Structure 1
Amino acid sequence: MALLTLNINKENTSMRYTAIYRALIALGLSLDFIGYSAQVFAAGSSPPAVTAWVVNKNGVTGSSPDATLNSLAVQIPANVSSVSSTASKVYIQTSGVPSYPTGPFPGNPAYASNIQAIYGIPLNPQPNLSNTLTEVGLGAIGVFVNGVAIFSYADAFSYQNQGVWHQDANVFEGQSFDTAPGHPAPLRNATTAVSGYLPGEYHHHQSPTSLREELGDDGTHHSPILGFAVDGYPIYGPYGYANPNGSGGLVRIKSSYSLRNMNDRTSLADGTVLPASEDGPSIASVALGSYAEDYVYVKDSGHLDEHNGRFTVTPDYPNGTYAYFTTVDANGKGVFPYFLGPTYYGVVATQSSTAIPDHAAPQAGGSGNGAGALLPHH
């Protein structure tokens, strides 16, 4: 292999790392020239995608401060029930219900039911080098380490159902969140109510404060892995190293999305002027920040790229990995785009897993602490 010599400042921004990383991958090269290599682990050790999970080993169930919801929750085993893996994927079997309390969900017709989900997460994630990136879309875009679904910033609606101004679920659905904060989405084709509630898939659209409390993610150390996106890359909490090479101390990681400077909703962030029929509601009537299109990506204005991630060293990946980050403000409140941007960084399989292959090897998983006590952290 020919020697590639580049003059690169390690303090470069994450967008430059991302561009270089993609270019080198396309050439079949590594990132060793800047002290990084992609997801390399010691012989005999298991990658974080195998060991990070909170496995229920003591029979803990869901719970709720609401008596009716609690009567349903206590029948459901909490967190991840099993972890198994092949050479290419780790398979997570989960009820989708956490060990921390859920509900009540004001105005929501659903409860956090046992969805009996199986997630297949790639063990060797690959960046998407094509010209067509995969949109995050609706539904689960990943899974938290406790088996709860990760949803994007979007809900299923847009202004006047035109598909132009897409609602931020944290704004339009926030009143139905519990204190975690999360809520259930009624399962597709669910028509039979149980104790007055429809079965639903519990999920978070923004920083899962109850999970972060369980994991000890309080800003005194690098955030732990909170989950994995369906493209296989880890999603960290909001605290990381100031510089991708691990230097600069701990900081709150900031996205590169910000509110647009506009007085009306008559154009998009790329300058496209909309026909009058596609104009959004006035900002006087619906506050700025209520729609995804109210935001603009400004390269290098934060720590993260347009996918809300960067290539970086972390305690779990001392040789570096691409990773998404949970974004919050100075008060700990989730801020756009919360987990992932509009598109995935990596290649996403066309079909999600519905069964665990017979040749998948059982794994111990992570802490095994199904009771929700503080887990070991970095």
Structure 2
Amino acid sequence: GIPDYTHLLTDAGAAFLEGRPRAATDFREGHPLAGAGDTLDFGQDLGYRSTGCTDLPGTGYGFWPPGPACPTRQDWDAWFPVEPVEAVEPTATGLGAIGLWVNGVAVFNWGDGQSWANEQTWFNLAPAAEVYDLDVCPGHSAMGTYHHHSHPVCLADQLGDDGSAHSPVYGYAADGVPIAGPWVLDGVLARSSWRLRDYDDPGSSTGCGAAGVRSCLMADQRDPSAGTVATDHPGPDTSDTALTMSGNELTAVAGYYFEDWYFDAALDGGSPEALDEHNGHLGGLPGFAQPRYHYHVTRAIEPGMPGGLADVFPFYVGPTFWGELHDNALLLGGPGGPGQGGPGQGGPGEGGPGADGPGGPPDFTEAAEALGVTMDELLAALGPPPPDLEAAAATLGVTVEELQAALPPPPRPGP
């Protein structure tokens, strides 16, 4: 859905807009049409050269940075379990909608489906790789579906979640589990138990033997004691530059890729703020009489960031769902959505590198062969992230259904 957001542009938010590396071309006049202290309506013209919508009043033109097409109003039915049940075999969250916020906006997971050098090994975190592709809320569109990949700032404002108490329910994941905002108590943030690998220390058990290099993968992202394994597809050094699909150059610091993270069970110690590998825990929740399992949006104190907080992987749900997915679980728009999160092809996971086990990245080679195109043609048609499947299908000369059936799900960590 298209939300009815308003947003107060802070000094930090205004500085971010004005400091965009491609501001001279991203904005029609070379700068934003709003400044600190302005209250912005959702869809208000901020001066962007928006992509995929006309420059007519009321279309939202100017609110979204160049990149995916402007969102559209959509009507669909969504089904959620009333009483979630813990899954025996957790399913990957996958691409596309993995839930809905309480205002009808789609919940998307951590990924954008893109990887370093298109080698399907080092997968982008969308909030990092798309930082200049999102609006002020932050969100954008895929196939017309407006969505968030990380903390929905404007929804938090709308719900009055100011950190003075446990956050309210922001939405529901496809397994029926509520998603609460970032706060567990007055001034206390929920804490992700996923940690960054230490690439700086050559002797680190999660590094690759030399400072700043990505030449190895975790053998099991949910068990750091399993060590690392070599990969034939090394990623960029942590000081290298990654070029985004929207043409921005970003430093590929630790945390830029999914494979940069691992679950540290020691952090899931039972404290009120501790979260498990799914980014949830059992506890009290506003609106419910009894404690119940719920996910949390995850953020951390970061001076200099807008609001003094930074979003933290896995952002709210994942990398796998806690609950069982019903056969009619929410499926909106993309490959690898809920119910499609099977094992990947190759890469680290249970059974070691190259095994057909959880944690392996998807293989676009088979998808390209099934569609009768080259992998380069397929990847070119899918960009920029998030993939616009309708446009990609038209480019490739196939139906959207054929494209969805051919595309693999994204990676998930081992059990």
Query: Which residue pairs with 1:212 in the alignment?
Result: 156
- How large is the Cα RMSD of the aligned pairs? 2.9
Deviation for aligned residue 1:62: 6.1
- Retained in 2: the 8 A contact 1:103–1:179? no
Cα pair 1:73 1:113 within 8 Å, conserved: no
Does residue 321 of structure 1 match 2:292?
A: yes
- The offset of 1:255, in angstroms, is 0.5
Instruction: Please state how far the C-alpha of 1:295 moved relative to its aligned partner.
Output: 1.1
Q: 1:113 to 1:283 in 2, by over 3 A?
A: same
Residue matched to 1:273:
229
CA distance in 2, matches of 1:296, 1:209: 26
Whether 1:305 aligns to 2:249 is no
- Relative to structure 1, the CA distance from residue 353 to residue 265 in structure 2 (aligned partners, 3 Å threshold; closer, same or farther) is closer
What is the one-letter code of the residue matched to 1:167? N
The Cα shift of 1:314 comes to 1.8
Confirm or deny that 1:221 pairs with 2:202. Answer: no
| Structure-1 separation of matches of 2:160 and 2:54 | 25
CA 1:65/1:321 → structure 2, altered by over 3 Å: closer, same or farther? same
CA shift, 1:71, in A, is 7.3
Give the counterpart of 1:261 among 198, 206, 222: 198
Could you tell me which of 123, 128, 131 is aligned with 1:166?
123
Q: In the alignment, which of 43, 64, 73 is matched to residue 63 of structure 1?
A: 43
What secondary structure, in the 3-state scheme, does the structure 2 residue paired with 1:314 have?
Answer: coil
1:127 maps to: 86
> CA-to-partner distance for each residue in 1:329-350, whole Å, 9 max, x for gaps?
2122211111112100000123
The structure, 1 or 2, with the larger RCO (C-alpha pairs under 8 Å, 6+ apart) is: 1
**Structure 2: gaps (5+ residues):** 5-40, 200-211, 221-226, 241-251, 269-273, 302-307, 332-415
1:346 and 1:123 map into 2 onto residues whose CA distance is 12
Q: Cα offset for 1:159? A: 1.8
Separation (CA, whole Å) in 2 of partners of 1:54 and 1:318: 31
Q: Distance in 2 between matches of 1:225 and 1:73?
A: 34
| Moved >4 Å (runs of 4+) | 53-56, 66-75
Letter in 2 for 1:212: A
For 1:204 and 1:147, locate their aligned partners in 2 and report how far apart those are by CA, in whole Å. 11
CA distance in 2, matches of 1:55, 1:207: 15
After TM superposition, the structure 1 = structure 2 runs for residues 64-83 of structure 1, keeping only pairs within 5 Å, are 64-66=44-46, 74=58
1:178 equivalent to 2:135? Answer yes
CA distance in 2, matches of 1:178, 1:140: 18
Alpha-carbon shift at residue 102 of structure 1 (Å): 9.2
**Per the alignment, in what secondary structure is the counterpart of residue 278 of structure 1?**
strand
2:61 aligned with 1:105, yes or no? no
Gap regions ≥5 residues in structure 1: 1-52, 76-100, 188-199, 242-248, 355-378
Query: What TM-score, normalized to structure 2?
Result: 0.56
Worse-matched range after superposition: 256-265 or 176-185: 256-265
Aligned length: 251
1:159 partner letter: W
% identical equivalent positions:
35
Superposition TM-score, scaled by structure 1 size: 0.61
C-alpha distance after superposition, 1:214-254 (max 9, x if no partner): 1001101211100000000000000014xxxxxxx651111
* Aligned match for 1:203, one of 147, 151, 155: 147
Separation (CA, whole Å) in 2 of partners of 1:299 and 1:293:
17
